[in-house]
Structure 1
Amino acid sequence: MEKTIYLVRHCQATGQAPDAPLTELGKLQAKELAEFLREREIVHFVSSPFTRAIQSVEHAADQQNLRIEIDDRLAERVLSSENLPDWMEKLEASFAADELKFVGGESGKEAGDRAMEALNRMEDRTVAVTHGNLLGLLLKRIDNGYGFSEWQKLTNPDVFEVKITEKHLSATRLWR
């Protein structure tokens, strides 16, 4: 059994809050994303419950006359419930140490496990919309060589084609 999943990082948003909408540029990016996905014979859209993720694929789903399923397992990872002035350093440390956990947050392992559970249950030709940190953790699960420096190169939006077979996972960046 082989399947293809398209992992999408949401378009540019006004902020990090769960209800933060897309910016005007993000809305234009969502239209570009819809065009990009139109030729890929998508059969299913799954999204994080965050507004910016849903809005990123609304045009694409409408174009293809498909609904968007919400999956909480695709929500962004909470690094910590506390304000971390050095959050970027903490995030980098968490990429290196999978079990590292900060107050009120999820370890990379915990977040990666829930995201992989969602990915493994998706059907062939699914678009899954998530967030930068969680996408980075998924890509690290697929390719152990993927790390913090690769995460820093992610764009809004971004698209990776994931090929899943019984014995192998691979990811290829499609968005340029």
Structure 2
Amino acid sequence: MKTTFFLVRHALKEKCIGDVPITSEGVVQAKSTALHLANVPVTKIITSPLQRAIDTAAHIALQTNITVTENSRLRERANWGDLPEQTFEEFIAMWDRCTSDPDYLPSVGDSSKQAGERLAFLITELTSVEPPDSYIVLVTHGGLITDFLVNTFPEHELNVWHPDFIAMQSQLIPECSITTLIYGNGKYTIQDFASISHLEG
């Protein structure tokens, strides 16, 4: 018996400060992702409470006929706009410092380690409360996915997917990519990482 998780990064978002929606191009991405996941026996969809994730999850829900629930543990480690008057350059500097130092606690949001741990706690909780052989879609953020992976898997396992995974982590998860995680026999396995094959063609 196993539980399958699809970690979906939200679709392309508007490049503005705050809790922004997805763009028209993002809608196309979300629809393609939804059509792909319609071929999977999805049993649950949970989304980050940020608008770009909610928008993406809504398209998946439409194709799978599964009701979406929100969970704050799927929120990004920090969002530009959380700190009043923070410029984009200041946000990026804060973000990069968190990425290079997982224990660094920024003035707003979580450290990379804290963010990875809260996603890990959610996934562990779901494996214990959802029926065996569930297929769970988690619509979240690229940073949170890599925070979880870097804090959960040894570096040599991550380097199977990219030879310099930890250093390059911020560039590895495209919008609407799907990372497939299998939980079985008390162990997590990455079955597929940041796949965008469903967006091609």
Task: Give TM class, smaller chain.
Answer: 0.7 to 0.9
Question: In structure 1, how many angstroms separate the alpha carbons of the residues matched to 2:115 and 2:46?
Answer: 17
Q: How do residues 1-176 of structure 1 correspond to structure 2 at under 5 angstroms?
A: 1-14=1-14, 15=16, 17-18=18-19, 20-78=20-78, 81=83, 83=86, 85=89, 87-122=91-126, 123=130, 124-145=134-155, 146-171=165-190, 172-173=192-193, 174-176=195-197
Structure 2: which amino acid aligns with 1:4? Answer: T
Check 1:150–1:99 CA distance in 2 against 1; reply closer, same or farther (3 A cut): closer
Structure 1: which amino acid aligns with 2:98? Answer: S
Choose 1 or 2 for highest CA Rg: 2
Aligned length: 175
Question: In structure 1, how many angstroms separate the alpha carbons of the residues matched to 2:188 and 2:93?
Answer: 29
State the Cα distance separating 1:113 from its structure 2 match.
1.4
Question: In structure 1, how many angstroms separate the alpha carbons of the residues matched to 2:17 and 2:123?
Answer: 23
Q: Bigger CA drift: 97-106 or 87-96?
A: 87-96
State the Cα distance separating 1:90 from its structure 2 match.
4.1
User: Does the CA-based 8 Å contact 1:143-1:170 persist in structure 2?
Assistant: no
Question: In structure 1, how many angstroms separate the alpha carbons of the residues matched to 2:169 and 2:78?
Answer: 20
State the Cα distance separating 1:101 from its structure 2 match.
1.3
Question: In structure 1, how many angstroms separate the alpha carbons of the residues matched to 2:166 and 2:99?
Answer: 6
State the Cα distance separating 1:6 from its structure 2 match.
0.3
User: Does the CA-based 8 Å contact 2:98-2:112 persist in structure 1?
Assistant: yes
Structure 1: which amino acid aligns with 2:73? Answer: R
- Name stretches of at least 5 consecutive residues in structure 1 with no aligned partner: none
State the Cα distance separating 1:31 from its structure 2 match.
0.7
Question: In structure 1, how many angstroms separate the alpha carbons of the residues matched to 2:64 and 2:90?
Answer: 42
- 1 or 2, which has the higher helix percentage? 2
User: Does the CA-based 8 Å contact 1:33-1:57 persist in structure 2?
Assistant: no
SS in 1 for 2:139: strand
TM-score (norm 1): 0.88
SS in 2 for 1:154: coil
Structure 1: which amino acid aligns with 2:183? Answer: I
Using the aligned pairs only, state the percent identity: 24
Aligned residues: CA RMSD:
2.1
Structure 2: which amino acid aligns with 1:160? Answer: T
Question: In structure 1, how many angstroms separate the alpha carbons of the residues matched to 2:6 and 2:173?
Answer: 15
SS in 2 for 1:66: coil
User: Does the CA-based 8 Å contact 2:8-2:140 persist in structure 1?
Assistant: yes
